[in-house]
Structure 1
């Protein structure tokens, strides 16, 4: 089941050396793909050296913003980058481009195929089944994404844990090229990645995002599924998630960026929040490799989100492993274990291990409710005084007291977060 970008990439690498068939559930490559909008480029260049010239890149990210929202108050930090390491795009466009490159190299893609089961015979994966059709294979590479129904049937993955998943919902607001640059303060071709925390998620672990496309803005929110469900059951969350996106779109501070724009698209997807906690029981087996989201390879530190590049890197390592197995004529678990060795020595695994404590931060509502309010109130005390202005320390202490957070507790939480983010 070689879906989306991972399957397209593996077909690209392997097509000239060994026959490969990729299946896609949707109509055309990438039709089922959805994400916020930002991709880190270098891991993709490792597969496609001409990425910068040929890929459907909308804008190179030159500015990063992070905003804390408390009511109508917004406190924003902006960084003008020294060099661009990421770009914005629509994932279906990128996947179609990848698939096209793979097909040019001789790979075969069959779309509108739903794989129902991974076939096992004598303790070895031997192919897949779709309806009444059977496709035999020496190796099956599972890139089915977050909903790992096939791996669950094999007993290699547990049912989804809502504590390790987030629901993302977004709108594409069409503005026009010049309007994007004028409203977001960008030069021609420049892009912006903007993450939001606070009232945008109603204090629920999660946040908001804004990415500038060529002629549009990708605007949305992300909510941790378990916390959103608890908030809904407890009555704290009474509105549909689409209303929360609308709240962001109509917020007095943000609406000027896309006023009079047209909502061209609306979409939603599940995303991994658990990092290493979402990795399946096995990444390889006799005749089977697991890559991308299905392997739990996504990192969200709160200020960066890396998924596409992790998926591509894992696909590259899987393809290299299969090529070695093909050369040896041996697709056993012992030979395919080289995939896990590659993965665990790569930047992907090292990043996941380094930031593994992020789960504690992401599950603490203090960072999503109290902290944005503390920051907004501190800034308000410093800049909204009529006569006497407090010192910065006085402003911080007053804001902490109003939010019921002792200074030492806040310091401990922030120090812990800084060591894990």
Structure 2
């Protein structure tokens, strides 16, 4: 079956003669992986996407961890639209335009950089090849209920009846809010991501960032790049472009930002270290997006109900550790587990919550919930103002004292004591570092 690109409320006449087992709301990584597995196993699936193309409403930094997708898709490494495999990891602290950097390099790679639009288009193609129908440019307004059981979806005055629905609507959970399964999003639960894509010749990317041909870099920077707001900046290397941007906690940005976030990003690009890297590059794309940051604290009380499963960002399944972010792999794998649950329920002939609660069990047994529970305290720690304001300045100060030697060189302890004088105490620094290490 081919995807149907139709306008708004006109979508139903194209498919109302078909009987679908499953409706998937949202053509992002979570929804498309669910659709692929379900269609591959013989169920009739329709994916409803409000954007003009699959994934057109999605935005992320650029890096994806591969193993979960390799479990879902055969020959993933050979077929997926991968730009570069990440072979180098950099983590930097920036203050006053100065950088303190740690780098890890390996010939092995567990993650890659890709354009999310291309990756979701590829996932949509795989779902279609398996037999799913993808309808774009359609807004699902609410779920259709019969006797309190989800039995389909509603768009304007049209109703599409199905046996079960997968909610992969993303971080803006308007459908779940209307059903009162979740509260309205609080600014403390989400972060604002800004991203620009800058075109640059591959040889310049590699020369300026110290990479071999086709080798990828994931670079995270905290401190000055976000205007010292809690969050962090990123640079990811595509084949012939750089993805550059940052993520800041929305409530902190609202309270503490002294200038527009777009101006903060432009100032970051003008710092000497970054300006030299992107010199003579051409801006080809930009965007902004909200991402879930509260993890389990923003998940619905239950991710299953009669005739309904919730996956991906809508379920709060994203992990930000500060030095790395996992979202796409969590989303795709949650869709995969939802599909396995639906297949089992289909074989049992019932989509009541007693049958669909298997999804919660599979999630709990998977790496997703184990990771989210293990690092549950990291979100609160990453909102600490000291970590993103005082500490970057102190660490840069210490590095300057150690490396910019004039007459005599101080010991590390002397440099540290001089740098923290009048700002904080060594005991508080050690306590905060202990909390960070324990959380990550």
Query: For the superposition of Structure 1 and Structure 2, which TM-score range results when normalised by the shorter chain?
Result: over 0.9
Q: Indicate conservation of the 8 Å contact 2:268/2:274, yes or no.
A: yes
1:82, distance to aligned residue in structure 2 (A): 4.6
CA distance in 2, matches of 1:241, 1:24: 29
Q: Distance in 2 between matches of 1:367 and 1:67?
A: 13
- 1:270 maps to what in 2? 290
- 1:123 aligns with 148
Asked whether the 8 Å contact 1:63–1:193 carries over to 2, the reply is yes
Instruction: Say whether the 8 Å CA contact 1:37–1:90 is kept in structure 2.
Output: yes
Q: 1:306 aligns with which of 295, 311, 326?
A: 326
1:321 positional shift: 0.4
Structure 1 contact 325–331 (Cα < 8 Å) conserved: yes
Instruction: Measure the CA separation in 1 of the matches of 2:263 and 2:173.
Output: 29
Alignment of 1:13-412 (within 5 A): 13-16=37-40, 17-231=42-256, 237-402=257-422, 404-412=423-431
- Please report how far the alpha carbon of residue 221 of structure 1 lies from its aligned counterpart in structure 2 after TM superposition: 1.2
**What do the CA deviations read for 1:178-229 (whole angstroms, capped 9, x no partner)?**
2111111111110000001001112211111100011010000111011111
Write the distance in 2 (CA, Å) between the matches of 1:2 and 1:330: 24
Q: What secondary structure sits across from 2:273 in the alignment?
A: coil
Aligned equivalents of 2:157 and 2:243: distance in 1?
Answer: 40
Note if 1:419 corresponds to 2:438. Answer: yes
Partners of 2:388 and 2:395 in 1: how far apart?
A: 11
Task: Report how far residue 352 of structure 1 moved.
Answer: 0.2
Rounded to whole Å, the distance in 2 between the matches of 1:288 and 1:360 is 31
Residue 238 of structure 1: how far off its partner (Å): 2.8
SS at match of 1:376: helix
Give the number of aligned pairs: 415
- Please give the per-residue CA displacement for 1:205-264, whole angstroms capped at 9, x wherever unaligned: 111110001101000011101111111xxxxx2321111111111111211111000000
C-alpha contact (below 8 Å) 1:221/1:244 kept by paired residues? no
Deviation of the 1:30 alpha carbon? 1.3
> Any stretches of 5+ residues in structure 2 without a counterpart?
1-24
Per-residue deviation, residues 32-55 of structure 1 (Å, max 9, x unmatched): 111000000000000112111100
- The structure 1 segments of at least 4 consecutive aligned residues displaced by more than 4 Å after TM superposition are none
TM-score (normalised: structure 2): 0.93
Distance 1:369 1:172 in 2: 27
Residue of structure 1 in register with 2:3 after alignment: none
Match of 1:10 in 2: 34
The question of whether the paired residues in 1 share the 8 Å contact of 2:377 and 2:439 is answered with: yes
Q: Which whole-Å CA distance do the structure 1 matches of 2:136 and 2:333 have between them?
A: 23
| 3-state secondary structure, aligned to 1:46 | helix
Contact 2:199 2:241 in 1 (8 A): yes
TM-score, with length taken from structure 1: 0.97
SS across alignment from 1:15: helix
1:313: how far off?
0.8
Aligned-residue RMSD, C-alpha:
0.9
Shift of residue 360, structure 1, vs aligned partner: 2.2
Secondary structure (helix, strand or coil) at the match of 2:272 reads coil
SS of 1:312's equivalent? helix
